[in-house]
Amino acid sequence: MVKFYTLPPIEIPYPFILVNSNNPSLDYIAKNRDFIESVIIDSGVEIFRDATIKDYPPNHFERIVALYKYIKSMLYDAEVYATIPDYPDDYNPKSLWIGNKTNVERTLDNILYGLESYNEVNWLIPVQGHHKSPKSIIYALELYQKHDVKLDDYIAIANLCVEERVKIVNETVKLAHKWLWANGYYYTKIHVFGPDIHSIYHLKNIIYSFDSMAWTRPRATHGWSAKTSMERAYLFITWIYRYANVIEIPLLPKTMR
């Protein structure tokens, strides 16, 4: 059973929640805290859609840590994960390559800092790669292993958020899975950030979880916008049941099953 993380309209309880560290939607968590089983805090990489931005704001790490602790205090029994701030290459290829470091090495620097400085946080380890280069995921994994990054718990394939080619998504994830098994990481949970529904059908047997917020772009997915709360609820429900028809996912929290 694959866990599917998203952020529904506030009126709809859902077990697996994705929140943005720049806009964490705490109202949703407060209203639906009794139904939430797990939360992933993403790192807020969307700021890098602007090619002029080269780094996170000052104290971004501290903001994520504070947000993690606050959400933990709201959800006593839920799993909460915070994604270590990473550097994508898919928005503006090579724009985050600084000096002799690509986005992969810069992400590694943040991982080492986060694990050492905030070991009380339940970190989700992002594995970055290079734009449209599936094999670069192996380079990243080998680099992480060389620096003793913990890879036997929960990692996230983070270089595919806006990738439209199913072949590239599938090849990248399968290469990562094959490398993990070849190196003895048999029980590592793999999360994939933002894959297309067509990829999920092919990856459902090797990943632990994935996420998507595509329902918030109704003009792209349905051809019309959702203005009222009822329209948003209808849009979300029809959207998520597309995924339920492709793979087995728990749409209801345990308290409602």
pLDDT band with cut points at 50, 70 and 90 for residue 36: very high
Quick one: which of 113, 139, 141 has its CA closest to 126? 141
CA pair distance 16, 237, nearest whole angstrom: 15
Q: What is the mean pLDDT of the chain?
A: 92
pLDDT in tens, 43-80: 999 999 999 999 999 999 999 999 999 999 999 889 99
CB 112, CB 149: distance < 8 Å: yes
By percentage, how much of the chain surpasses pLDDT 90? 76
CATH number at residue 100: 3.20.20
Residue 220's pLDDT is what? Answer: 46
Number of domains forming the structure of the chain? 1
Range of the domain at 44: 3-256
| Greater model confidence, 218 or 206 | 206
Lowest mean pLDDT segment, chosen from 41-50, 58-67, 91-100, 222-231:
222-231
> What phi and psi, each to the nearest 5 degrees, are found at residue 129?
-155, -175
Residue 224's pLDDT is what? Answer: 53
| Sheet architecture: strand order including 79-83 | 3-5, 209-211, 189-193, 154-157, 123-127, 79-83, 38-42, 16-20
Residue 216's pLDDT is what? Answer: 77
pLDDT band with cut points at 50, 70 and 90 for residue 232: confident
Residue 252's pLDDT is what? Answer: 65
Residue 257's pLDDT is what? Answer: 63
Residue 118's pLDDT is what? Answer: 97
Residue 243 has pLDDT above 70, yes or no: yes
Q: Is 241 helix (H, G, I), strand (E, B) or coil?
A: helix
